[in-house]
Structure 1
């Protein structure tokens, strides 16, 4: 099951056993860096939980309503909590707010509509504001019957210790560079570029794909050339002056570009 998801063999085995278990924890935490596949596996696992046969592949009505290929997540027993749009700031919020947890809590009072289980995925659970985290803790202290809650988090140190004590954690590690390279080549990225991206992404297929698609200032291969040029110019008495004088470098260095340049310097 889930052979199309690269790596994470032990995590997949645990989840396969979970599907067959009579007694099972009501809350799971998928932890690890962004882009490792936590969300992908969580959605596949949710689909299998909601499937009438608990395999997510039998084509039943529950599976049809969890069509992950086209992003259709309309199953009535599935809830996704994620960053919402902030109308005042005209952008996505970077936190999970208490109103979202209150809405989730209200939904947990409802019985399943179609499947024997109701499933909730909380993305970026480590970005819950304190009030939201405390409200969520109350939900875990009195877990709703028939629900499975899956938290996704990149930084578990930002989660309340009391939340950590009430979940079963599955840690996601970096994927081997060779597997990342193969995955990129399967997406029609030429081998030379795939090899570079696999090393730069440090085991994150999601990051590798984002870098492959980036253009302009974030073009990873152009940044790599400039990072190498900087290292070749060392030693420098005033390295920041050297950087500031480069025509390729915008005076207002974007955070993403700065992080990418530093990462490339470290790797080179």
Structure 2
């Protein structure tokens, strides 16, 4: 096992955030149908409470999503997505104006409005620019960090696109092509997300975890999001609510293989995993 050796940082709203110690990104969903009920926040009180928990437990970034990406999720219109996001972002900005916020969207126009109107610091695109051809140009114009994730198809049909001749080689090519396009457009802050659970079988997800360090080859921060996902609860035959231990184990493995950002529901446990892994490797 080996921790990421190169020093990294990301520019969030003009401030450099070091990744010498990995960051934890807390999930805040303003959707009625996210796969894990514990992450759903629809009222002002629930949004404020969730944001407060993320910050108090050591989360460095709040990731807000208004469009569920679970398999067979309902497709919602752009106007509804923006309405949900605007409601949450205004509350968070009022409560925590200095905390960087990421928005989970694949729509370029939504990304633009969130940055321009609400000061969002990061765009988190599950589609790698495939579901909106204007996304790369938009991110280049906005000059904000972009989370580039691997997925095939759409959230509704992604599990029909799980056949690979060579999963790791095909994913590396996918990222290589898109990183080249983004950097040629002037996007400086790219974050690589292998997309655990997206268009991948259960066994694919564990192969990916086993070879995760190969995705540090691009020289950009690596984000891992395995929190309470089906690769845990389907393997054990349990539920998302019973998947905290499995999440912590996989987060720890991911950190040992170079992850610089953990995207999680359970911030306190992830922060503790970061500190223990850092302590272990710094004591050699």
Give the TM-score normalised by structure 2.
0.32
Structure with the greater alpha carbon radius of gyration: 1
Give the TM-score normalised by structure 1.
0.34
